[in-house]
Structure 1
Amino acid sequence: MKSSRLVSLLLLLQTRGRVTAAQLAEELEVSVRTVYRDVEALSAAGIPLYGDAGHAGGYRLLDGYRTRLTGLTAGEAQALFLSGVPGPAADLGLGSVLAAAQLKVRAALPPELRAHADLISGRFHLDAPGWYADADETPYLATVADAVWHNRILHIVYRRWRTPTDVERRLEPYGLVLKAGRWYVVAGPGPRTFRVDQILRLTAADETFTRPDDFDLSAYWTAYQRDFHARLQQGEAVVRLAPGVRLARQPVAGGRTDDDGWTVATVPIESLDHAHAEFLRLGTGIEVLEPPELRAKMARTVAELAERYGNFEGYGGD
């Protein structure tokens, strides 16, 4: 553990410049006394670092000193190359930059870790979009990404699902999120979330904004997903499921088996229309008991199907 910590300390000094013992201790989750001992160990090993006393003091490496990435473990090297996703990088106009960065890192690795990194490239491939869906057209993605980098305000015409569908919005773009092959921009004020492929027109203003210091994109997205799923499940339905039948994406609560071997359970639903379409997929393997409106809607559909297929014997006969 000490050798790994020494490498981490060295890389922190290399990337951040002057760092105090207290800052190093907090970053490495050790005591300040341990930092002092680690600094002495590095100095004894010939690493050219020195410390300055006083309020603005701290440790730093001698100007021009750079260490090779020999401190990487095999797992860290594999994770580094696995995290470089070429598709999204290309979407953002960074495909060649990613390739160049990986080439430089690969050249800095010792031979045994270079072999591990090469295994990752040959054995793992990430394809984010789902099946049976065409890729979204996102002609403004590069412009949105540039605005995110440079805190530039965007004026957009955006297509939403409710009336009026096409609206004008002023965005302060905080960050981009790639979810299941679809790009979203999280923007203030709010913040709010917008699908990049639903931007119809876009103008990047010369005006800039100040990004909130306390905004955490990862924390926001986690909370947004949780709230999104909570909003989807606006009601409940009581259903009977035939033996062996399962609902793919809906949690089942209070399931009990009746005398016919069917499971009676309560499931969350987004809306009557959505539940109607989802339950029809199960054919005769499901019976809706409640709410009455959904049961009636299912009954009407079944009656229409029965009428439509009533003269089935007239087709395909001898």
Structure 2
Amino acid sequence: MRADRLVSLVLLLRQRGQLTADTLARELEISTRTVLRDIEALSAAGIPVYAERGRHGGFALLPGFRTELTGLNHDEALALLTAGSGRGEQVLGLGSALASAVRKVVDALPDTHQATASDATRRFLFQPQTDLLSRRLVTEEVPDATMRAVRDAVLAGHKLRLHYASRGHPARWSIVDPIGLVAVRDRRYLLATQSGQDRTYRLSRMLAAEDLREPAQRSDQVDLEQVWKERCARFLSDAHITVSVRVNPTRRDDLLKTAVAVRAEEVDTDGWLRLEVTYQDLWHAEWALWQFSTDAEALAPQALRTALHNRAAATANRYANST
């Protein structure tokens, strides 16, 4: 266990540069005192780890230090094999590369691990094509050439020329500075800026893309998770409506699948759930809640209640004299 931890410590320093003892302890899930002992052990073994004193100090490896650190343990190999199984290989167009990497991992495993790891991955199924209700999961298709151009521009830090068709508008060309790629379930997005303004593009709506081989205007450092959270918050606040709704608890999950986001949830006095959910617009909310018949009730806004009432009245009138 300690050998694995020492290898992980060296890899962290090699990949991320100078790190504090607290950061290393958090990443390795050990105490700060254990980190200091491990640093001493590495130094004694000839690994050139040095300490930088002061407020912004920490530990780092000497510049240019390289070493071959081989030997995956069983759980590490299993994690890689599982990630490469099923639909996980479709993420961001890296399926063939991931499959090749997995083959190399399997080949590098000791004989004693190969059989058990391969058997274990056969007992894990990652995102199958259908769920228990036999509903087929639809994956957004992105042409290989488009995906490759976008991915190359993101990694190289190049400007990207896009032919993009946003919903309700004709396709047009634009030049953007890519920040990063985000995969959410079966949807993939490009986060970028255009003339300094934040832009988020859905890859399935890209008709073509071209890596311009020209340096993009972007920061060398990025916290993509934080950027994505900020974009999501802004998206939910623009041109969306918040709906207060009561729902039978047995239909809660079905309701959440129709909403853009959930803002609040509590149990009502009769056991039903009272939620505040966000929809794209009034029509989206009306369409979604109509699917639930009497298993859900829109409480607000009034315009939604009126729309549902009118739809129900028209439906009742249609079938009133049915023979």
Q: TM-score, normalised by structure 1?
A: 0.72
Distance change >3 Å, CA 232–CA 3, structure 1 → 2: farther
Pairs within 5 Å for 1:1-318? 2-9=2-9, 28-29=24-25, 30=32, 34-35=37-38, 37-39=40-42, 42=45, 66-69=68-71, 72-84=72-84, 87=87, 89=89, 92=92, 94-127=94-127, 131-132=135-136, 134-139=138-143, 140-162=146-168, 164-188=169-193, 189-229=196-236, 231=238, 234-237=241-244, 246=252, 248-249=255-256, 251-253=264-266, 255-257=268-270, 265=274, 267-270=276-279, 271-313=281-323
* Letter matched to residue 180 of structure 2: G
Contact in 2 for aligned 1:152/1:205 (Cα 8 Å): yes
**How much does 1:195 deviate?**
0.6
* Letter matched to residue 294 of structure 1: L
Choose 1 or 2 for highest CA Rg: 1
Task: Give per-residue Cα distances to partners, 1:223-251, cap 9 Å, x unaligned.
Answer: 33344445576333365x56966472155
* Letter matched to residue 284 of structure 2: H
* Letter matched to residue 80 of structure 1: L
Q: Distance in 2 between matches of 1:231 and 1:301?
A: 27
**How much does 1:61 deviate?**
10
Q: TM-score, normalised by structure 2?
A: 0.71
Q: Distance in 2 between matches of 1:282 and 1:62?
A: 62
Contact in 2 for aligned 1:183/1:196 (Cα 8 Å): yes
What is the total number of aligned residue pairs between the two structures? 294
Distance change >3 Å, CA 192–CA 175, structure 1 → 2: same
Distance change >3 Å, CA 238–CA 151, structure 1 → 2: closer
Segment drifting more, 103-112 vs 168-177: 103-112
Contact in 1 for aligned 2:89/2:99 (Cα 8 Å): no
**How much does 1:210 deviate?**
4.7
Contact in 1 for aligned 2:190/2:203 (Cα 8 Å): yes
Q: Distance in 2 between matches of 1:244 and 1:89?
A: 34
Q: Distance in 1 between matches of 2:197 and 2:128?
A: 28
Q: Distance in 1 between matches of 2:298 and 2:21?
A: 61
Contact in 1 for aligned 2:91/2:183 (Cα 8 Å): no
Contact in 1 for aligned 2:161/2:173 (Cα 8 Å): yes
Percent of aligned positions with the same letter in both sequences? 27
Distance change >3 Å, CA 115–CA 243, structure 1 → 2: closer
* Letter matched to residue 166 of structure 2: R
Contact in 1 for aligned 2:92/2:183 (Cα 8 Å): no
Gaps of 5+ in 1: 44-48, 314-318
Task: Give per-residue Cα distances to partners, 1:44-101, cap 9 Å, x unaligned.
Answer: xxxxx5789xxxx9669998x63430xx443322222223356564565543332332
Q: Distance in 2 between matches of 1:150 and 1:62?
A: 24
Gaps of 5+ in 2: 26-31, 51-59, 257-261
